[in-house]
């Protein structure tokens, strides 16, 4: 079983949640265009002025997605 990585984009300010939600839509569209088997995207609210959007990818595909999508950071996903 391959390890998975969560690529994350951080959004701050009064419109952070709306921006993260919108970004997650585009991440999902990218997965469809690339015909990628995992379809794991989403967003999280950290607080009123800080939200994130994310995509989950296989470890061996991380460089491809990182270079194409330019996430702010990444972490192991369980």
Which pLDDT tens digit goes with each residue over 6-64?
Answer: 999 999 999 999 999 999 999 999 999 999 998 999 999 999 999 999 999 999 999 99
Residue 57: both structure tokens together: 């990818």
Architecture of domain 4-72: 2-Layer Sandwich (3.30)
Q: What are phi and psi of 60, to 5 degrees?
A: -70, -15
In this prediction, residue 1 has a pLDDT band, given cuts at 50, 70 and 90, of low
**Count of positions (residues) in the chain:** 78
* Contacts of 60 by beta carbon, 8 Å cutoff, 6+ apart: 2
pLDDT at position 73 is 98
d(CA 64, CA 71): 12
In this prediction, residue 5 has a pLDDT band, given cuts at 50, 70 and 90, of very high
pLDDT at position 14 is 98
The pTM of the whole model exceeds 0.95: no
Would you list the domain boundaries of the chain? Answer: 4-72
């Amino acid at each position: 079983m391959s390890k998975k990585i969560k690529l994350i984009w951080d959004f701050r300010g009064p419109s952070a949640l709306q921006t993260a939600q919108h970004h997650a839509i585009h991440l999902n569209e990218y997965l469809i265009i690339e015909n990628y088997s995992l379809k794991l995207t989403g967003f999280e609210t950290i607080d009123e002025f800080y939200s994130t959007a994310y995509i989950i990818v296989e470890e061996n595909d991380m460089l491809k997605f990182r270079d194409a999508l330019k996430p702010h950071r990444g972490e192991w996903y369980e």
